[in-house]
Amino acid sequence: MVSFAAQLRLLCTLLFVPVLFLPQAALASDSGAAATDATGRFLQAAHTFEEARAGDTAAVPQAQAAFKRLLDEDPSNPLFMAYYGTTFAMQARDGGAPWQKLKWVHEGIGHIDRALSLLGPQHDAQKTRDVPVSLETRLVAVATYVSLPSFFNRMSVARDQLTLSMKSPLFGSASTELRGRFYYEDALIAHADGDKERERRSLSEVIKYAPPSLDMNEVREQYAKAGG
């Protein structure tokens, strides 16, 4: 059986990180002027989040604090809340006593569930760097929940949110990065469900879109294992 800590470490590779859309040079050049508005601060918070996702343990509390500041200014923003919640899962990934890990993950789940409950039609139209807030919020939630150990019982929520996203009119016009990431999460859910045909079909879509934020060699290996 895979340990609780080992399952949480999966978050390091499965989390969706939209800052990967942006060239680092562009991010750096915009950091001065753009940091004066919410979008600029979000980009900086997302950049720190990416460092935390990549394994920089010192970046986790920094990302958490950055998203908390954004939430203090905009408490009903579902995107900020979803990322804030995910930082607690990364905190649990990186250490602490078992009871602390459980506490952090449950706290993160509470924030992510709240973020999903806040989503409304207005968030289909609202965008952050040309990405619909509704789609990105749901993808952050799905990627986090798929990664959690089964005893947290979040897979059904992940399935529902994935279905809502991929059936949305927004999905067809989303970037190839975004669609590829959704198909990747669909493949992970299919694998967990033992549905090899769906897993193979979804991985073939991931290969077609080839999102830069995924390790495509790993995806092709998964595809081959699924019979592709």
**169-183 confidence digits (pLDDT tens):** 999 999 999 999 999
Residue 65 corresponds to which tokens in the numbers above? Answer: 């604090």
Tokens 């399952």 -> residue: 7
pLDDT band for position 86 (50/70/90)?
A: very high
**Span 152-168, pLDDT tens digits:** 999 999 999 999 999 99
| Residue 127: strand pairing partners | 132
Tokens 């694998």 -> residue: 191
Compute the average pLDDT of residues 68-73. Answer: 95
Residues 32, 172: Cα–Cα separation, whole Å: 34
Domain boundaries, the chain: 4-163, 175-228
Residues 6+ apart with CB under 8 A from 183: 202, 203, 205, 206, 209
Residue 31 corresponds to which tokens in the numbers above? Answer: 């950091």
Share of the chain above pLDDT 70, in %: 84
